[in-house]
Structure 1
Amino acid sequence: MVQGYIQLSHLLRHKVTHSNERPFKCSDCGSGFKRAADLRQHERIHTEERPFSCSHCTKTFRTSSNLRQHQRVHTGERPFTCSVCGKGFTQLSSLLKHKVTHTQERPFKCPDCGRGFKSSGELMSHKRFHTAEGLFTCSVCGKGFNRSSHLQTHQRVHTGERPFTCSACGKGFTQSSHLQNHKGFTQSSSLLRHNVTHTKERPFKCSD
């Protein structure tokens, strides 16, 4: 279908979208744009102008579209709905990221090992394992870690903090997994000691 225009100027503006021509140049950084409106919007990055104000709070925005998107925080509007589970989102990009969770698709590929991930955030977390040094460094010994949670656990070696405490004996642990292992061990030991009372078994013999 051929699209028609009332004015020649409208047709000329439209034809630019079919080419790589970017006739509108930014005088500050030299970036080119296909439309004058896009250039004006870009120029606000340099001028820090934010002409669009939220009527609910004091926040201001460079574009009207950013303002409309922000106002959904106040109105609760979620116009982008998942067709699978019905969950609503304020942004189309958030919906697209969410929809991947309903499929086996993993479009974000690691350039080092080829492993796929459902979100860019998951990929960024994974890529830390390919770096020579961790992004999170201990200020005491300089050891590096790929995750902040791993650094936090490590730092307890230096501070002596043991935030996970056994309610039965009061013994403290640096990690919750260590506490769970301890609790499982004490419970099984108590069970074994109790089971002996129901038998004639005397497993511990005096050698003297």
Structure 2
Amino acid sequence: MNNTDWLSIAKRLQALAQAGLAYSQSGYDLERYQEISEISVDILHRLTEEPIEKIAPLFTERFGYQTPKSDIRAVIFNDDHKILMVKEKIDGRWALPGGWADIGHTPSEVAVKEVMEETGLEVTVERLLAVLDKKCHPHPPEPWYVYKFFVLCKKTGGEISRETNETSEIAYFGLEELPPLSEVRNTFSQLELMFEFHKNPAKEVILD
């Protein structure tokens, strides 16, 4: 098996362990579920070489029945047919504006909020382009199981900020001039797909 297969196994084991720890009433079963949780953390440690002390709190933060996290990404093109990207301070690489969905906000509201926070621009949401499962795409390993929502947005106001709390640069790029990508957030093939949508507005929503 490759690393992607092992990562999927680790995530599934952790999901089963957290559900068991939440709902089991047997002391014996609780011990077994805790052991399964620790095994899954060890697998991820071996895959990523990150310290167990760092992985465990992230990987086991959700208690009970685990469900995928939702990552909302805004797709914004300018009149020159270039796509808006932000340079992430956390890794110095570039991504579409966006982030984790917030409880209490709709996906559209999250997209609008993230664009404002990361770029200074005001946008409206036009349509959903794609819902992608990260396991189906060449992202680096990470603890969470994630669905990615790509949402087409239109600029309505505001001015591009030079720097925000999370980003150090904001700029538009053509497909042939993309900067180094923050691949945990978006891959080259996903950006290619966004340009396909731009060229063909009638293209149907893609669902993994």
**Structure with more strand by fraction:** 2
The structure with the largest alpha-carbon Rg is 1
Greater RCO, CA 8 A, separation 6+ = 2
Fold similarity call, TM over 0.5 = no
TM class by smaller structure: under 0.3
Using structure 2 for the length normalisation, give the TM-score: 0.18
